[in-house]
Amino acid sequence: MFSTIWNNVIYFPVLNLLIVFYDLLFENLGLAIIVIAILIRLILIPLMKRQTEMTKKMSSLKPQIDALQKKYKNNPEKLSEEQIKLYKKVGYNPLGCLITFVPQLLILSVLIQVIRNVTTGDLNGIYPFVTNLLNDGASLTINTRFLIWDLTKSFNDLSSEFGKFSVEALPYLGLSVLVGISQYLTTKFTQVMQGGLPQPEEPKKGKELSPEDMTKKMTKSFSLILPFTTIFIAISAPAALSLYWAIQSFTLVIQYMLLDWDKTEKGIQNLFTKLRKNKEKSKKSPK
């Protein structure tokens, strides 16, 4: 039952869309994956916009939260009660991050399945009209080469065959590391461009972290864990998945910029100001 719904509603449409893009883009699987990655980011814009708006609302509550913490500093239970009332006024939901996380997890899951099947030649699920449209009814053969990579291969595959530091394996290791670096830089970049991420204050004894500080702590930890986790997965996954992840990271930067351009513009100004001050400081420092 579940597999039938999964295939018909999610897997088969994504598979056929990828094949159509592959044909339109000169039978280049890499370009097709890049277009799919960008398209998915466009589809997720409404959800990301909602999350960005909620972040703005939570930031606007900081003066009121500070006032409550000062007023009820000796009464943690009353403080928690008043904070919950305040969060309800703006519609804050602690599980709100799942609104964007769950769809992305589903999309990533189906893309992993699609990419693995396409790169191994398993095209079961291609609609007949797609086959007729693209190849006049003949069986489809997918070219999996993209630049210097075979998108069906992984670093683990080639390192076990040729050695970890072989000429054949190193480009795939480089791609895997690039994915991890792009994840890290993207996280840091979006934080800087959107005003930075203030460090959460350590709570005093008997004082709970506010949801805002909890979010900051989770974001900081996640920004460090995610790159290493991504590299670990990428070295054993087909290069096609690494390519998708890298493009997703860079398009995420553009997405954040478009969703909150006013704040991003200030972030750009702050970034250039910081760079200019660092440059002036380095000139004044003795050589």
- 10 has pLDDT over 50: yes
Confidence band, pLDDT 50/70/90 cuts, at residue 107? confident
> Mean pLDDT, to the nearest integer, of 129-149?
77
For Cα atoms 207, 208, 213, give the angle at the middle one, nearest 5 degrees.
Answer: 125
Q: pLDDT per residue over 198-252, tens digit each? A: 444 444 544 555 555 555 555 566 667 778 888 888 898 889 888 988 888 888 7
Q: pLDDT per residue over 252-261, tens digit each? A: 777 777 766 6
> Mean pLDDT, to the nearest integer, of 56-71?
75
pLDDT of residue 7: 85
Enumerate the domain spans of the chain.
Answer: 2-284
Residues of the chain with pLDDT > 90: what percent?
10
Q: How far apart are CA 55 and CA 217, in angstroms?
A: 15
Confidence band, pLDDT 50/70/90 cuts, at residue 155? very high
